Amino acid sequence: MTSLPPPSRKKLGLVIDLDTCVGCHACAVGCKEWNAGGIAGPLTDSDPYGKEPSGVWFNRVHSYELEATSACGGATPVAAQPAQTLHFPRSCLHCETPACVTVCPTGASYKRGEDGIVLVDEDKCIGCGLCAWACPYGAREMSPVEGVMKKCTLCVDRIYNENLPEAEREPACVQVCPTRARHFGDLGDPDSAVSKLVAERGGVALMPELGYQPVNRYLPPRTRRVGGEEAVVETADNPVAPSWLTRILRR
């Protein structure tokens, strides 16, 4: 059993704004383009233009139709939710205590102490798939061509690349997002821009009850008006609102 390192002080991660994500998939395409030639490349595809295409994608975007709900009174009020399309980007959350690292029999999955990024050493990976089974967020991608597991690296070969202009030293998905729905930074620093954004918007972690302490945060949609009334959506300070984000993730 692989022992976990102590929680890192620096916690590099992503903050994704579900209010401004339009589901364009630019993040997924930009990620694939950069990482196809990066440290985790190649990212293989099988029959990409056929009837059953498959391939390795570090970032995937799911779209859901949320039905409208009405507010009601009572001891436990139910918050109103407007009908809307929610676009939900999904990738590795770089957990503080990642299940994938715990179950890896060879130590191929590991968490860097200096910045908290979870990576895979492909030279040690035997393709057993235990990490994919253990990850509750579906963030692992098996490459059938190489027989090894792959995942989001937070573009570690980009964010520290001194040959790039400093403004470009961020994950490819953040660089290409046309609506600026993705943000990158140190979530271990309460004074960082991403930490302040999470505090201001009530950013949430996915399924925190599991205890893996995901670093990435999602910013919930802002308040909408329904029939002249303010519709309430779930935020950190609104515990009575429906847990729509958790329900979506578990579908």
Task: Domain count for the chain, please give it.
Answer: 1
> 228 or 153: whose pLDDT is higher?
153
Question: Which of 12-21, 42-51, 89-98 has the weakest average pLDDT?
Answer: 42-51
Task: Determine, yes or no, domain membership for 3.
Answer: no
Q: Is position 6 within any domain?
A: no
CA distances from 142 to 66, 68, 115 (A): 31, 37, 25
Structural domain contains residue 2: no
pLDDT 10s digits, 154-211: 999 999 999 999 999 999 999 999 999 999 999 999 999 999 999 999 999 999 999 9
Q: What is the CATH number of the domain that holds 51?
A: 3.30.70.20
**pTM for the predicted model, two decimal places:** 0.83
Evaluate whether 96 touches 213 at the Cβ level (below 8 Å).
Answer: yes
Among candidate residues 94, 132, 134, the one with its CA nearest the CA of residue 114: 94
- Backbone φ and ψ for 176, nearest 5 degrees, come out as -95, -10
Model pLDDT for residues 79-125, shown as the tens digit of each residue: 566 778 889 999 999 999 999 999 999 999 999 999 999 999 999 99
Average of per-residue pLDDT values in the chain? 85
Q: Does residue 56 form part of some domain?
A: yes
Q: Residue 194 belongs to what H/E stretch?
A: helix 193-201
Write out the residue range of the structural domain in which residue 181 sits: 12-249
